[in-house]
Amino acid sequence: MKSMLQQTVKTLYNATIITMNDGFEVIEKGYLTIEGNTIAALKKGFPETKTNLIDCSGKIIMPGFVNAHTHLPMTMYRGIADDLPLKEWLEEHIWPAEAKHTHEESVRKATRLGLEEMVRTGTTTFADMYFFADAVAEETAAFGLRGVMNEGILDFPINSYKTTREAFEKAYAFVEKWKNHPLITPAAIFHATYTCSKDTLLEVKKMAEEYDLNLSTHISETQHEVDLVTSQQGMTPPAYLHELGMLTNKNFNAHCVWLNPADQELFATKGAHVVHCPSSNLKLGSGIAPVAAYLKKGINVALGTDGCASNNNLDMVEEMRLAALLQKGVNHDPTLLPAREALKMATLNGAKALGMDNIIGSLETGKRADLLIIDTDNTFMQPIYDYYSAIVYSMNSSCIETVLVDGKVVMENRDIQNSN
């Protein structure tokens, strides 16, 4: 394929384009023109222009994956404490390791490693919850990926801050620094309802409202968490957030394994978003979120990998396939979560959860050129009877040939352009 690295205007033609728009439109032998960072044209047929043409015969063009929940610097803890339940894993292994090893320079190195892994597996946008967020943002912007993040708020001291007040100072400073950046979007982020006091939660809410930020947390990940919060607050974690006015359509929540019927109704009526992390939930023995039921109730469900300490990778291709297969298996119903819905969870639903579906998540004119070029000329993807099926059930990340974010090439022919 002709190189597109130096071209500010480029037209990809002879491609199969999986738009992931509301109509699930697939354009065969179509073309897509990029001007700057934007999709300027998207049509069937041959382009009128004769310049800056990139022949994509035998290729699929699709939106980049949106990894709606991760802890990117935790690549440094990949495999450090496997085969343990969440409470023991977190309190006896992860938190002590973080106290010893998490500092700005280690966060930068681990972030760079994670960024390369994400690009190689097709992620173009991710939502991150961790510490030393300014360093994560700087590395992300330099690499060229799109990120939603901020300092993660907790009510106990960590290496990034010693007091909750200091945590908020860092979070507010982060918003001011990055609020107009083309790739970095600040959010309001707190760890969980069981690690933050009511006063802390209300301060997070205040920050979110003041700056019109989307809000992210972990919620109802384990039965133990639900029991703990219910014993402390007299209600489930979602009901507690609802009482505080923090469960809204700007709220995206990781895990949501143990939402009871009343919780699910709250999510549906308030428009709150679920971020399903199937690999992490399985590995930690947390359970299997009934996402087919959530989708049936109209709840928007996105996908996330979680961090490498509990997954142990950042591969959205694996996450998407596993999400689809789990719902079929646990419900004894192969019709549940069909391939195109799984792909939607990994793209447009993720964009909706992050409040970014006006610019990413599908390929449409006027949206940002965040896209993948997939090589179908390999044993994994032949023959192709259905494009969605081929992507969700057959493809692996090695089939992802080229990645563009904001119109710029970050990987071409599997060669990372911004690795540092």
CA distance 319 to 346: 9
pLDDT tens sequence across 178-199: 999 999 999 999 999 999 999 9
Same domain, 195 and 330: yes
8 Å CB contact between 85 and 31: no
What's the pLDDT score for residue 207? Answer: 98
What's the pLDDT score for residue 5? Answer: 60
Domain boundary among 353, 383, 402: 353
Predicted confidence (pLDDT) at residue 92 exceeds the cutoff of 90: yes
Kindly report which listed range (5-9, 201-205, 229-233, 275-279) carries the lowest average pLDDT score: 5-9
Stretch 112-141: mean pLDDT, rounded? 98
Question: What domain count does the chain have?
Answer: 2
Predicted confidence (pLDDT) at residue 420 exceeds the cutoff of 60: no
CA distance 214 to 224: 27
Is 158 contained in some domain? yes
**Tokens 């990139």 map to which residue?**
54
CA distance 130 to 189: 9
What's the pLDDT score for residue 3? Answer: 74
Same domain, 342 and 370: no
Is 344 contained in some domain? yes
Is 259 contained in some domain? yes
CA distance 3 to 18: 22
Is 263 contained in some domain? yes
pLDDT tens sequence across 328-352: 999 999 999 999 999 999 999 999 9
Residue 136 structure tokens = 């994560």
Predicted confidence (pLDDT) at residue 140 exceeds the cutoff of 70: yes
Domain boundary among 336, 353, 370: 353
Residue 2, beta-bridge partner list: none
Domain boundary among 353, 370, 387: 353
Instruction: Transcribe 112-140 into DSSP letters.
Output: HHHHHHHHHTTEEEEEE-BSSHHHHHHHH
Stretch 310-335: mean pLDDT, rounded? 98
Stretch 156-169: mean pLDDT, rounded? 96
Kindly report which listed range (90-94, 169-173, 256-260, 288-292) carries the lowest average pLDDT score: 90-94
Same domain, 410 and 321: no
Predicted confidence (pLDDT) at residue 354 exceeds the cutoff of 90: yes
Same domain, 297 and 241: yes
The share of the chain scoring above pLDDT 70, in percent, equals 98
Looking at mean pLDDT, say which of 47-51, 86-90, 256-260 comes out highest: 256-260
> Beta strand 9-18 with 53-55: parallel, antiparallel or unpaired?
parallel
What's the pLDDT score for residue 1? Answer: 66
CA distance 349 to 14: 28
Work out the burial of residue 48: count CB atoms within 10 Å of its CB; fewer than 13 is exposed, 13-18 middle, 19 or more buried. Answer: exposed
Same domain, 173 and 104: yes
CATH at residue 210: 3.20.20.140
**Amino acid identity, position 24:** F
8 Å CB contact between 188 and 179: no
Same domain, 332 and 377: no
Instruction: Categorize the per-residue pLDDT at 4 as very low, low, confident or very high, splitting at 50, 70 and 90.
Output: low
What's the pLDDT score for residue 315? Answer: 98
Instruction: Categorize the per-residue pLDDT at 9 as very low, low, confident or very high, splitting at 50, 70 and 90.
Output: confident
Predicted confidence (pLDDT) at residue 6 exceeds the cutoff of 80: no
Same domain, 48 and 72: no
> Beta strand 65-70 with 146-149: parallel, antiparallel or unpaired?
unpaired
Average pLDDT, the chain: 96
Full residue range of the structural domain in which residue 30 is found: 9-63+362-416
Is 3 contained in some domain? no
Stretch 239-254: mean pLDDT, rounded? 98
Q: What are the angstrom distances between the C-alpha of 171 and each of 132, 143, 179, 181, 205?
A: 10, 22, 12, 16, 13
Is 2 contained in some domain? no
Same domain, 77 and 48: no
* pLDDT, greater one: 253 or 95: 253
Encode burial over 61-85: b for 16+ CB neighbours within 10 A, e otherwise: bbbbbbbbbbbbbbbbbbeebeebe
Same domain, 58 and 129: no
Predicted confidence (pLDDT) at residue 419 exceeds the cutoff of 60: no
Same domain, 281 and 401: no
Same domain, 348 and 374: no
CA distance 76 to 90: 15
What's the pLDDT score for residue 68? Answer: 98
Is 38 contained in some domain? yes
Same domain, 71 and 56: no
Kindly give, in sequence order, each residue whose CB lies less than 8 Å from that of residue 3, ignoring residues fewer than 6 positions away.
412
Instruction: Categorize the per-residue pLDDT at 87 as very low, low, confident or very high, splitting at 50, 70 and 90.
Output: confident
Work out the burial of residue 158: count CB atoms within 10 Å of its CB; fewer than 13 is exposed, 13-18 middle, 19 or more buried. Answer: middle
The share of the chain scoring above pLDDT 90, in percent, equals 93
The radius of gyration computed from the CA coordinates of the chain, to the nearest angstrom, equals: 21
What's the pLDDT score for residue 90? Answer: 87
CA distance 21 to 76: 37
Predicted confidence (pLDDT) at residue 74 exceeds the cutoff of 90: yes
Q: Where are the alpha helices (DSSP H) in 253-347?
A: 261-270, 278-283, 291-296, 316-331, 339-346
Is 1 contained in some domain? no
Predicted confidence (pLDDT) at residue 7 exceeds the cutoff of 80: no
